[in-house]
Amino acid sequence: MDNKKYKLLFNFIILSGIFLRIFKLTSQSVWIDEYITADFSSGENLIYVFFNSLANNPHPPLFFIFEYFFIKLFGISEFSIRIFPSLIGVVSIFVFYKFMRSFFSEKISLIALFLFCFNPYLIYYSQEARMYSFFMLVSLIIVYYFLLSIKYNSFLFLPFTIWSIIGLYIHNYTILLLIILNLLIFVKYKEEIRINLWIRSNIIIFLFWLPLILFFIKGIGGEGYSYKVNIFIAPLFTIKNHILGFTIDFNLITIISFIIVILLILNTIFTNRDKTKKIIDILTEILILFICIPWIFSMIAKPVYSDRTLIVIAPLFLILISAGASYLSKNGLIIFIALISLVYIISLNNYYFKKDYQKIKYEEQFKKVSEEYKEGDLLLHAYVNSYAAFEFYNKLKYNKGYENKLSGEIPEFKGDKIQLFIRDLWRKFKDILKKYFKIDIYSGYDKNILPDSELNEKIKNIKRIWIIADNEIGRKRNWLPLGNIWYSKQKFGQDFILENFGWLKNFLLINKINYYGSDIYLLEKK
């Protein structure tokens, strides 16, 4: 390919990748995790954001701190909470290409750039108000400096150390990445790096990580955040999601594409390449270990396997595929690109335009309730999905101040001696924050949870109640990004039956509105 054609193709791919990461950025409603992001990031100041996330969230605080500034700049909206991940997604395009050109040929780099820019999985997380695109970018940079150090037999101490510390403040799985890199160094590549500087770097990283130890303990001490369903074949779903996107189901096209990319990956791994063999080997080892460690842990202990926490390896898949595809004939490469393009078009069309693969439109439901809301009405949610989204629109975006409650029992504290000790320490520290810094941080169960005993008492003084109940579609939708759960027959909660409420005899059903994902009931006291 001549230089002019290469530049045209390169610019087209780059511009398309940027466009897809900002296209329809605000078109979908928020869901639970995005509400959590907005809630943590909308604190009164950075100290509050830091300690509120420490008290109530297992993830480190750096992402929420960045989100805090965007909320301060733009106010609270879908745009303000999603623009930072979107910008990170754009930056990732250029970082990824720099990564590729540092180790691979122009041909392999261009194929990889195409796969990266149009990859539905990476585009999705560039448009979600969570830390995963940020985590992926920083992890890619960590691996980049690690590979450069191995390639040139000279450890890049400062950039590797700094980016590793940043990664630890974004996501706890950075610890897993650093453990894997240490395993590779001490087991296989000890002679390829200045080991004294490597050890010094790890000591510094560890010291900077110590303030985050409470986040880490909370993360590993909490309940499993997944289900142990389809766990044995979970990596197959991960590969499919990371490469082809989770907004496309298994069909003949995806199965053929899946088989082809697996063959290309195997071709890359087992084909001898003198110049890039060591780089390919390291990337393969990181990829395999990053999948296998949480996968095996989930099979023998609590389920923590999640496609999105493995987002670090999504670019590595694309690199291995690109290296394998570079060995295809011209016609073979054209057929491969055409097939992948077809899969990407279907997957992205589903994501942007098909409700079956999108977040439930809770904003539409909230606006409908707002049109008919009367002073003193109670909004009662049967499930957390709609409750969290309504909280975003009620408390944060539109600041309506409706009484928005979640029906359910208050969870009991479950913890061992260490967790009890940490809780007591936090309570003492919380008093210090309140006394000396005038920062009052609440930690514990959501105050909007309304147990049956309190509900029975409350409805005595309520004239109208709105009940928002997610149906099976709405309850399952949160698991769309997790292949092993999404494709399982797992049932998420019991179907809502209005007649099960004992106090119903005191109310009349005035209206019922059926939405995709949930049903809304308006009840009025007789």
Q: Nearest to residue 477, comparing CAs of 250, 246, 232?
A: 246
Q: Which two tokens stand for residue 274?
A: 């003198």
Q: Do 104 and 278 touch, CB atoms closer than 8 A?
A: no
Q: Which of these ranges, 44-58, 212-226, 257-271, 305-319, has the smallest mean pLDDT?
A: 212-226
pLDDT at 221: 61
- DSSP 8-state symbol, 495: P
237-287 pLDDT, tens digit each: 999 999 999 999 999 999 999 999 999 999 999 987 778 899 999 999 999
Q: Do 393 and 370 touch, CB atoms closer than 8 A?
A: no
Buried b (16+ CB within 10 A) or exposed e, 209-232: beebebbbebbeeeeeebbbbbbe
Q: How many residues does the chain have?
A: 526
323-373 pLDDT, tens digit each: 999 999 999 999 999 999 999 999 999 999 999 999 999 999 999 999 999
* pLDDT score of 226 more than 80: no
Kindly list the distances between the CA atom of residue 154 and the CA atoms of 151, 184, 194, 196, 363, in Å, as whole numbers in the listed order.
8, 16, 6, 11, 53
Which residues, in sequence order, are bridge partners of residue 406?
381, 449
438-452 pLDDT, tens digit each: 888 887 788 899 998
Strand residues in 334-452 grouped as ranges (E): 378-381, 403-407, 449-450
Query: In sequence order, which residues have a C-beta less than 8 Å from that of residue 481 and are 6 or more positions away?
Result: 124, 241, 246, 307, 308
CA 259 to chain CA centroid, Å, is 26
- DSSP 8-state symbol, 127: S
Q: Which two tokens stand for residue 501?
A: 């409420």
Q: Nearest to residue 340, comparing CAs of 323, 357, 325?
A: 325
483-508 pLDDT, tens digit each: 999 999 888 888 888 888 777 788 99
